Amino acid sequence: MADDRTIMGIFSDEETTLSAVRALKETPWSIENVMSPIPSREIADELSTKPSRVGYFTLAGGIIGFFTGFALSAYTALQWQLVVSGKPIVALVPFFIVGFEFTILFAVFGNVVGLILKMKLPDYRGLADHDSRCTGACFCVVAVCPVSDEQKLLNFLKNSGADTRILS
Amino acid sequence: MDRRTFLKIAAMGSLSFASGCSSQPDKTLFSLVQAPDDMVTGRGTWFASTCRECPAGCGIVAKNREGRAIKLEGNPLHPINRGRLCMRGQAALQGVYNPDRLSKPLIRENGRLTPISYEKALSIIQDKGSDAAKKGQGRVAVFTEMVGPTLLSLFKALLAQWHSETPTLFEPFAYESLKLANSQVFGIDGLASYRMEQADLLVSFGADFLETWLSPVEYARRFQQMRAFGSGGKGVYLHVGPYAGLTAANADRFMVCRCGGEAFVAFGLIREVLEKISDSSVSGDLVEPLKRILDPFDREEVLKLSGIRQSHYDLLIERVLSARRPLILGTQGAGAGENTPATDVASCLLNALLDPDLTLIDFSNRHTVERTAKRSDVLNRFKSVTDGKVDLLLLNNIDPVFSVPYNAGFRKTLGQDSPFVVCFSSFMSETAALSDLIVPIAHPLESWDAYEGKTGVWSILQPVMGNLVGTYTLGDLLVRLAFKGETAQQGYRGYLANDLIRRGMIKDERDWIKTVQQGGAFDGLSSEGGLSSKVQPSWSWAGTLSSAIDPGASGTIFAAVPSIRLFDGRGANKPWLNEAPEPMTQVAWQTPVLMDSHTAAKNNIRQGDVLKIASTWGELEAPVYLSEFLHPDLLVMAVGQGHTAYGRYAKGFGTNAAGIFPPDTHPVCGGPLYRVAPISLTPTGKWLKPANTDGSRVQHHRKIALTVPLKALYEHQEKGHPGLGMWDFPLTLPLPEGYDPQRDFYPPHDHDGYRWAMVIDLDRCIGCGACAVACYAENNIGVVGEKRILQGREMAWLRIERYLDEADPTRVIFLPMLCQHCDNAPCESVCPVYASHHSREGLNNQIYNRCIGTRFCSQMCPYKVRRFNWFDWEWPAPLNFQLNPDVTVRSKGVTEKCSFCIQRIKAAHGKAKDEGRMIQDGEVIPACAQTCPTDAFVFGNLMDKTSRIRKLMADPRAYQVMGYLNTKPAVIYLKKVIRDV
Amino acid sequence: MNKTAAKITESVFFNRSLLRMTGVSIVIGLVSFIILLSGKHPERAWQAYLTNFLFWSSVAQGGLLFSAVMQVARGRWGRSLTGPAEALAGFFPVSFLLYLILFLGYKQVFPWRYMELGEKAAWLNLPGLFARDTAGFLILYGLGFIYLYHSWAFRLNRKTDAGKTREYLNRLWNSRSVDPDRFRARMTLFAVLYIIAYAVILSLIAYDLIMALDPHWYSALFGAYHFVKAFYMALGVLIILASILHMNPQIPFALRPSQFHDLGKLFFAFCLVWADFFYCQFMVIWYGNISEETAYVIARTMASPWRPMAWLVFIVSFGIPFLILLNRKIKSNPKWMSLLSALVLLGLWLEHTLLIGPSLNPHVHTLQLGIFDGLIFVGFIGLMTLVVASVLHVLPELAESRISEGS
Amino acid sequence: MSENANPLTFGDIDRRVLATLAPASRGYWAAVGLLAFGVLIGAGCWAYQIAAGVGVAGMNNPVAWGTYLINFVFWVGIAHSGTLISAILHLMRASWRNPIVRAAETMTVFAVCVAGLFPFIHLGRVWMVYYMLSIPNQRNLWQNFQSPLMFDVLAISTYLTVSTLFWYTGMLPDLAVVRDRSTGKKKKIFTIISLGWTGAQEQWRHYTRAYLFFAALATPLVISVHSVASWDFTLGVVPGWHSTIFAPYFVAGAIHSGLSMVLTLMIPMRRIFNYEKIITIDVLENVAKAIIFTGFIVAFAYGTEFFMAWYSQNPVELEVFRNRPFGDYAAGFWIMAVCNTILPVVFFFRFARRSLSILFMVSILVNIGMWFERFVIIVTSVSRDFIPHAWGLYAPTWVEFGIMIGSFSLFFFLFVLFVKHLPSVSMTEMKEMLGKRGGHGG
């Protein structure tokens, strides 16, 4: 949107960031993004982001894995039906371990897949207007305002303790 | 193999060979592009022949596959061994295929041996012979091993041409003392055979009839017929002697005494017997003088002189007097001590007194080893050689340089360049090494011949395979030396046939073929009666009796004894025999000197300490093995090892005792002296790790090798209700009925048609180890050698575990341990790749080419019967020709174990399928069961309710080793019966 | 606030209705115990008695363990739960009394008295067993009380003058003043000692009073299995107790959802550990298939009459909680959690019966479980409730959560 | 522990950690070279063994498992505490673990790699190892999933995969930090491997959740892995192996050894990279406390085993447990007993917990002790099991020692490479620790 300005405010610590975010929410301007070196429950709450749904992938993976494990071991055992130590051909007691290991493995795969899909990584476009301080000591708030309000927003951010940077 | 099938294949085989395979090396073994029409690739052909590993003369049948003999079994039709073989017989094959066999005659030219052709060799001998003959009478001397009558006559014929006397039959073990006793007491200068099986009490004063004595396989069988519980025998066996070899270890009571003390025990016994004797069956003229001579030997005197334990002595007397059909055996026969003749005479007298009709002694079918010359005669004959009265000396397959005391002259004389020494030998033995001309001869398994093991028992030797290295048979050589023209043309086989016809053994060609097929002519064997005898009125024996001297005087005595594995040392070049541990010490590849453990403790000598043992005549060094089976004043060493030549498997292993014995012979019997005293012992400070395969001598009160008192078997024993512990766990068959839902997690599983299993009767097992060696032969088991055995890597699929009784360490029990083919085998489920699993017929399969070598199975196996191939084992050519084509040769990195000879089971399956029937009971016999001289193994199908093995399940003695582990082993053992005497 | 607390307690923990309820249930339990005892099969009575004795003693021991662990691991989140947990420890004296009573039934309780034991007799003999277990209980409970003595010194308000116990304790504390840090350090030390004793002595009890009932069976993990289970049960009871206190507006005890959530997670974790310890034993015994070991397990899990009960235990105490507790929300919901815990506890009570029953009634063909066992259980519930109530009555501070803690 | 006393700021953390990634000195490369040489020794020995046969190692018939499986179990054990620290302590919100979590996880990954090698080295026919993989084949003959070794294959490979992913995920934000503070090729590389992480809320939201699941899954996994390792022994009937307590006892033992290995690694590392302010003495003290705890569990297990052996009154069991303390391998047993159970007791004293030298010494001794624990368990049991006639002794050969040297070299080789090229302390989690003042204390 050509008539919009995206401005990044860079704060030195979590508290000021937090108050800034709170204040910003009162303003007409929208918060596009917040970047932080560490995860912050508080900021997340402020931005009222929904809890992640990665868990569903994990769960799905786990369930699939559990049955895959049993299925594989049962299938291989049934091919020749060799009796070993007089144990049943399809012996659920030991096969449980196979099922278990597969559960964990697939759950983790699910977890990773979910993570990749949800975080949309790898994605290097975000680095274009990324400020290196955001991964260091600083919290960055990216706000959007009409071109007209640019100065207002800049002042606002400065007043709330940030040094600012115009991204676009 | 039952009689019928045997005859079939034997016939098929020998017909072809009778025509086909002469001793000419025309049929090459290597490529059979045109196989002879009787040879079906992949199918074995059986040829009957005779074992020549010792003078006993057992019949064998050899399995020939694609032209190579791959396995020997006893000839079931042969009256001496009845289809069984000892470990030496099993190992005969490694004589044929021995990598160190000589293939060309070698002549010594200025010190170096150079190969020459047979023609050349023959002409040399011919020339030397005729030159000698020219010089005068008796310029040619022949010393030969024990040979058959035909070959002997051939020798005679040859020597006659050279104006020389008959050859000398030389055997290191010639039973001089026994022969002396027989002649003095019974007037028969020979070696009677004994109807042991009919006795109810057997007393031996040293005769090791389970090891080497006369005819071990035969006597092992008779012994168990007498004694074994299974065969209804209730006989008791007592052994009196200074040490216990395998034979004594199988006695119901081993009574240790001084070396030489046996004589006085025998005297005492006679004295006691005489006092009891009332009836006049024994002529008074025998009783009186005996009383007179033996009067001094009352109880105290005997105890003092013999050093026997009082309780033992009383027991002995009590048993002998109460026995109905007692049989007394003399001394060990191979080599004498001072009192040996006295002991033998005394035991003969005892037999005469206790059983005046001598019904247990068979004088008509005598052991032909009696024909061998006394050692004193041998030495006398050789003296003439030493004195230069002989120009040509022929030695046939004997090794006096090794087996006769060093300074008896052989070494010296043979070393000199006159006389000209010709040695007929397949190996570079010590003797050959000193000879001027070495003529390799074909192995008995490659030759035609006839041998008479017992008088009237003629066994035929026929080539069981083509000639391997192109050697000639001795017979052919002699024929060509002795005769010209037609006789020479037809060779020794023709000579033999004619000779047999001349002797009336066979009538015609058909008869000849029949004889060859069944392995010999056994009709001469008279069953009962025959020649009998009485005690001689001449009192020549009296002197012998009085020759006995007090053994106490001589201090520590060093004795050498024959080895069940190597006999007199001729077995030393056979890997199997070295690899198989000595039954009593469980030591392989080494010759330790046995020392009483308490004596050792007193002189703080540890096992493995190397001692230097010196006598007036020489000295030797050997590691000590601590034994429980010796008189404290005795050191015992087995003969056979300590070769300085004789091939890679013999050279440099162990020690030869011959060196320290006196060269002269026993004044009375003329036998060699295998006892020497005084001796000096000095520790060398060296230590040699004993290569023993046992981890412990006792079984630590575990349910492994069990015994049961005879009484307990007769009185009705109430079974305490079965529990789950080691001792009260019930016998659980590896069948569905063996599954108890109260204690089994797994459902039972069925087998289709067969559930192979084995019963091993510990009461029959004498621990001779024939089964183990048969297993090596049948299953291509690798020989690992001394170094690897020291590392604990022996590969035996079947091992004889030797356990001493914790309570009484002089009691021994042997337990053959092999894969138990458990129904719930702990080894199977742990294999990640199904290499080991349960077969449909209950076998515990091991798939070699699937195995990746995790060794998990052998860790889990409670019986530790699984063997891992740590390396690729070697079969130096041509040993590899012996490998059984039906059994995989395992490469390094895989685990192997007993398969119940699955190849034999498969073969039986094929046969049964062709004939559209089930496999019959007793049709499949694993190699171990087949060769066992005492029939301790029974193999069969448990699912067949009528099978012999299934019936044995009812035996109250049946149990499973460590059964409480609920592995449901398919090998069921029968407890050894203890006759508490 | 303490004043109010003191006032409230009068009515909350120790009112008539509660007394009536507990009293009645105790009487019911006692009566049914006597009925069974006088019946043809007195061992049935002792089976029920032993089951409940072990069950509730474990709860009490595990309860205190929770507090001790929190102390050692400095787990702040659970600090406010330690109060109720320590209240459970009030059952210690009762438990010891019950233990002594147990020996009245020694004829039925120790079947090995009639068996051939051999060497084992050195371990399995009545005097020896009584001596070592008595010593064990005394040590465990002794350490427990010393720990409580330290813990309460910080927890209790010294001024309130309610009842003799308080005054006695106050006198103890005031008698000599140690500086708080050293006192806290000693508290931690005794917490550690209690934890060690917990492991060792609960194992001992498990061997002597459960495993040895079938003297031929043994499993090395059995002791650990028992004390892990004990903690699992204690957590269940703790959840219920905490929820009751939490949901009762009159009591100054409230937990943040996160705290319930953490407690729930711990409960979940020990549900898994318990199951794991079971599987570790079952797997090894199943695979080894040595009859000495299998017979015991088969009798309890695969053969009638006990088999269905084994499945019930498995489903109720593992299957259901496992599936439910995967869910995050439920963990922080007191109502549901107490319901679930109750279910689990019921299952574990059956599990105790399952371990003891077959040993005390060998070769039976019917399930040795009846209405009376249930009633006796009820009686013990009453007993436990009464004990906890009275403890909280005397020491109301135990039921105070310090909201201030954590953030 | 009190962060308040700690004057660290976010900036300090970045600076200190990034300083370790500066170009390495000559001495460093010398060390790397030396370790590489050690690896070559091991490789050479293995090659020789493959050519000649496993016989070049000291194993024999009763004792067919030797140092290869001892080292296998040992290294798997080392691996465990890594996951314990990163996952279990994360779930328990013991944030004192944050400074060492990265190093510990790395240790896990490398230890599992090394451990994974040993089963291969152990095999008699390693070239046939693919029989153990589910490769479709024309005979349709697959592997036997009832075998504990198959459990191992699954468990170890799963463990390696999971811990590697866990490790990488945990490192993602730090990689971004490095990216933003480096130039040239290094920047390019880190740009790629940090996958374009910016630290946006959207990313954090999923990241934290996923990380939690990672932890939640790694915890049961780590327990299962060593349980499975223990089942290699317990599932048979061999006396001294067939014991139900093994699984938990192995897990505890694994953590015991792993924790001490953490100390062994951390103490030199904090000295060399002057991490004193980050890896504070309090952190080490906490590890020491944990060691006391695991030490107690291990001791409890030893005791139980002996009691049970006696209680069973089974002559076979009795013999094995008589043989351990008084038999052929008594020395090994006493080393194990003293190092694993007696020594850690010194950590009851505060000064010992806070003295670097004592911590270091004890940590190494405990490692030795744990190695001998595996030796005692694996060797003594089979060397005297059911059939006395088959008893025998075992001693490692130079080949086995060579391979052992190789394995240790390989581990330290990888670790040394890691510390100079990747952030060896988790900057993010350090910052979190500071950020959450007065939050959930350790």
Distance CA D408, CA D397 (A): 17
R_g (Cα) of chain C, nearest Å:
21
User: Would the CB atoms of A84 and B747 count as touching at under 8 Å?
Assistant: no
> Among candidates B497, B502, B499, B490, which has minimal Cα distance to B514?
B497
Give the residue extent of every domain in chain B. 3-100+444-521, 106-173+371-439, 177-364+534-538, 555-687, 707-714+728-739+749-978
Closest-CA residue of chain C to A92: C283
Distance CA B36, CA B761 (A): 43
Number of H helices, E strands in chain B: 31, 38
Which of A76, A79, A84 is most worth mutating to test chain B (most B CB atoms within 10 A of its CB)?
Answer: A84
Instruction: Name the pLDDT band for B275 (thresholds 50, 70, 90).
Output: confident
Note the Cα B938 to chain centre separation in Å: 22
Residues in chain C whose beta carbon is closer than 8 A to a beta carbon of chain B? 216, 286-292, 294-295, 298-299, 302-303
Give CATH for domain B177-364+534-538. 3.40.228.10
Tell me the CATH architecture of domain D7-126+143-437: Up-down Bundle (1.20)
User: Would the CB atoms of A93 and C286 count as touching at under 8 Å?
Assistant: yes
Query: In the predicted model, is pLDDT for residue B901 greater than 70?
Result: yes
Residue B741 DSSP class: T
- CATH class of the domain whose range is B3-100+444-521: alpha beta
pLDDT of residue D154: 93
Higher pLDDT, B718 or D263: D263
Q: Does domain B106-173+371-439 have CATH number 3.40.50.740?
A: yes
Q: 């009851």: which residue's tokens?
A: D348
Query: In the predicted model, is pLDDT for residue C134 greater than 90?
Result: yes
Instruction: Name the pLDDT band for C92 (thresholds 50, 70, 90).
Output: very high
Domain range enclosing A22: 4-37+137-166
pLDDT of residue B14: 45
Q: Which residues pair with B683 in a beta bridge?
A: B611
Closest-CA residue of chain A to C282: A93
Query: In the predicted model, is pLDDT for residue A1 greater than 80?
Result: no
A47 in a structural domain: no
Question: Are residues A32 and A81 part of one domain?
Answer: no
Neighboring chains of C (3 or more beta-carbon pairs < 8 A) = A, B, D
Residues in chain B whose beta carbon is closer than 8 A to a beta carbon of chain A? 746-749, 823-831, 834, 836-838, 968
Higher pLDDT, D435 or A133: A133
Instruction: Name the pLDDT band for B18 (thresholds 50, 70, 90).
Output: very low
Note the Cα D144 to chain centre separation in Å: 28
Query: In the predicted model, is pLDDT for residue B393 greater than 70?
Result: yes
Query: In the predicted model, is pLDDT for residue B531 greater than 90?
Result: no
Query: In the predicted model, is pLDDT for residue A88 greater than 60?
Result: yes
Closest-CA residue of chain B to D53: B871
Query: In the predicted model, is pLDDT for residue B731 greater than 70?
Result: yes
Task: Please state the rounded mean pLDDT for residues D211-237.
Answer: 92
Q: Give the Cβ contact number of residue A107 at 10 Å.
A: 26
Identify all chain A residues contacting D98, using CB atoms and an 8 Å cutoff.
none
Q: Does A127 touch chain B (CB under 8 A)?
A: no
A25 in a structural domain: yes
Query: In the predicted model, is pLDDT for residue C178 greater than 80?
Result: no
Q: What percent of chain B has pLDDT over 70?
A: 93
A73 in a structural domain: yes
Query: In the predicted model, is pLDDT for residue C402 greater than 80?
Result: no
Indicate the pTM of the whole model. Answer: 0.93
Query: In the predicted model, is pLDDT for residue B942 greater than 80?
Result: yes
pLDDT digits (tens, 9 = 90+) for B652-683: 999 999 989 999 899 999 999 999 988 999 99
Q: What percent of chain A has pLDDT over 70?
A: 99
Q: Which of D207, D214, D435 sits opposite A14 (nearest CB)?
A: D435
Instruction: Name the pLDDT band for C404 (thresholds 50, 70, 90).
Output: very low
Residues in chain A whose beta carbon is closer than 8 A to a beta carbon of chain C? 59, 85-86, 93-94, 96-97
Q: What percent of chain B has pLDDT over 90?
A: 71
DSSP per residue over A43-108, as a string? HHHHTTPPPP-HHHHHHHHHHHHHHHHHHHHHHHHHHH--BBTTB-SS-HHHHHHHHHHHHHHHHH
Query: In the predicted model, is pLDDT for residue B304 greater than 80?
Result: yes
Out of B37-46, B579-588, B607-616, least confident range: B37-46
- CATH class of the domain whose range is B707-714+728-739+749-978: alpha beta
Q: 């790699």: which residue's tokens?
A: D113
Q: Does C282 touch chain A (CB under 8 A)?
A: yes
Helix H or strand E segment including B448: none
Higher pLDDT, C392 or B217: B217
Q: Does A83 touch chain B (CB under 8 A)?
A: yes
| D290 Cβ neighbours under 8 A, 6+ residues apart | D255, D259
Q: Which residues pair with A168 in a beta bridge?
A: none
CATH of the domain at A19: 3.30.70.120
Q: 């931690």: which residue's tokens?
A: C188
Distance CA B854, CA B835 (A): 10
DSSP per residue over D123-143, as a string? -S-GGGGGGGS----TT----
Closest-CA residue of chain D to B967: D237
Identify all chain D residues contacting B700, using CB atoms and an 8 Å cutoff.
315, 319, 388
Instruction: Name the pLDDT band for B806 (thresholds 50, 70, 90).
Output: confident
Query: How far is B967 from chain C, CA to nearest CA, in Å?
Result: 8
Distance CA C264, CA C266 (A): 5
Out of A46-50, C219-223, D35-39, least confident range: A46-50
Query: How far is A150 from chain C, CA to nearest CA, in Å?
Result: 38
Strands B680-687 and B609-614: antiparallel
Residue D424 DSSP class: S
Question: Are residues A61 and A33 part of one domain?
Answer: no
A64 in a structural domain: yes
Task: Please state the rounded mean pLDDT for residues B426-452.
Answer: 93
Q: Does B513 touch chain C (CB under 8 A)?
A: no
Task: Please state the rounded mean pLDDT for residues D332-347.
Answer: 93
pLDDT of residue A13: 79
pLDDT of residue B37: 64
Query: How far is D339 from chain A, CA to nearest CA, in Å?
Result: 33
Overall number of domains in chain A: 2
DSSP per residue over A2-25, as a string? TTEEEEEEEESSHHHHHHHHHHHH
Q: Does B462 touch chain C (CB under 8 A)?
A: no
Distance CA B634, CA B244 (A): 11
Q: Does C182 touch chain D (CB under 8 A)?
A: no
Higher pLDDT, D430 or D112: D112
pLDDT digits (tens, 9 = 90+) for C259-312: 888 889 999 999 999 999 999 999 999 999 999 999 999 999 988 888 999 999
pLDDT of residue D2: 41
pLDDT digits (tens, 9 = 90+) for D20-49: 888 888 999 999 999 999 999 999 999 999
For chain B, the distance separating the N- and C-terminal CA atoms, rounded to the nearest angstrom, is 39
Query: How far is C286 from chain D, CA to nearest CA, in Å?
Result: 9
Distance CA B704, CA B713 (A): 19
Closest-CA residue of chain A to D214: A108
Query: In the predicted model, is pLDDT for residue B326 greater than 90?
Result: yes
Instruction: Name the pLDDT band for C170 (thresholds 50, 70, 90).
Output: confident
User: Would the CB atoms of B791 and D58 count as touching at under 8 Å?
Assistant: yes
User: Would the CB atoms of B746 and C302 count as touching at under 8 Å?
Assistant: no
pLDDT of residue B36: 63
| Long-range contacts of residues D15-18, Cβ cutoff 8 Å, at least 24 apart | D16/D273, D16/D274, D16/D275, D16/D277, D16/D278, D16/D425, D17/D174, D17/D278, D17/D423, D17/D424, D17/D425, D17/D427, D18/D177, D18/D178, D18/D181, D18/D182, D18/D423
Identify all chain C residues contacting A85, using CB atoms and an 8 Å cutoff.
289
Out of B333-337, B857-861, C350-354, least confident range: B333-337
Query: How far is A33 from chain D, CA to nearest CA, in Å?
Result: 7
Instruction: Name the pLDDT band for B19 (thresholds 50, 70, 90).
Output: very low
Query: How far is D280 from chain C, CA to nearest CA, in Å?
Result: 19
Query: In the predicted model, is pLDDT for residue B8 greater than 60?
Result: no
Q: D287-299 burial, b for 16+ CB within 10 Å, e for fewer?
A: bbbbbbbbbbbbb
What is chain B's mean pLDDT, rounded?
89
Q: Does B869 touch chain D (CB under 8 A)?
A: yes
Higher pLDDT, D287 or C328: D287
Distance CA B942, CA C277 (A): 41
ipTM: 0.92
Closest-CA residue of chain D to B795: D61
Out of A80-94, D75-89, D154-168, least confident range: D75-89
Q: Does C326 touch chain D (CB under 8 A)?
A: no
> Among candidates C239, C266, C267, which has minimal Cα distance to C255?
C239
User: Would the CB atoms of C279 and A86 count as touching at under 8 Å?
Assistant: no
Identify all chain D residues contacting C265, using CB atoms and an 8 Å cutoff.
91
pLDDT of residue C77: 79
pLDDT of residue B334: 76
User: B659: which 2 tokens?
Assistant: 């060196």
pLDDT of residue C396: 81
Task: Please state the rounded mean pLDDT for residues A106-133.
Answer: 86
CA-to-CA dists, residue B201 to B249, B331, B712, B979, C251, angstroms = 16, 17, 21, 12, 98
Query: In the predicted model, is pLDDT for residue B827 greater than 90?
Result: yes
pLDDT digits (tens, 9 = 90+) for B112-171: 999 999 999 999 999 999 999 999 888 999 999 999 999 999 999 999 999 998 899 999
Residue D345 DSSP class: G
User: Would the CB atoms of D248 and C200 count as touching at under 8 Å?
Assistant: no
For chain D, the distance separating the N- and C-terminal CA atoms, rounded to the nearest angstrom, is 7
User: C235: which 2 tokens?
Assistant: 């957590």
Structural contact between residues B607 and B530, judged by C-beta atoms closer than 8 angstroms = no
Tell me the CATH architecture of domain B555-687: Beta Barrel (2.40)
pLDDT of residue D429: 86
Q: Is there a cis peptide before residue D62, judged by omega within 30 degrees of 0?
A: no
Q: What percent of chain C has pLDDT over 90?
A: 52
Query: In the predicted model, is pLDDT for residue C11 greater than 60?
Result: no
Query: How far is C67 from chain A, CA to nearest CA, in Å?
Result: 29
A123 in a structural domain: no
pLDDT of residue C181: 84
Q: Does B701 touch chain C (CB under 8 A)?
A: no
Query: How far is A148 from chain D, CA to nearest CA, in Å?
Result: 27
User: B944: which 2 tokens?
Assistant: 């067949």
What is chain C's mean pLDDT, rounded?
87
pLDDT of residue D86: 84
Helix H or strand E segment including B421: strand B420-424
User: Would the CB atoms of A94 and C287 count as touching at under 8 Å?
Assistant: yes
A19 in a structural domain: yes
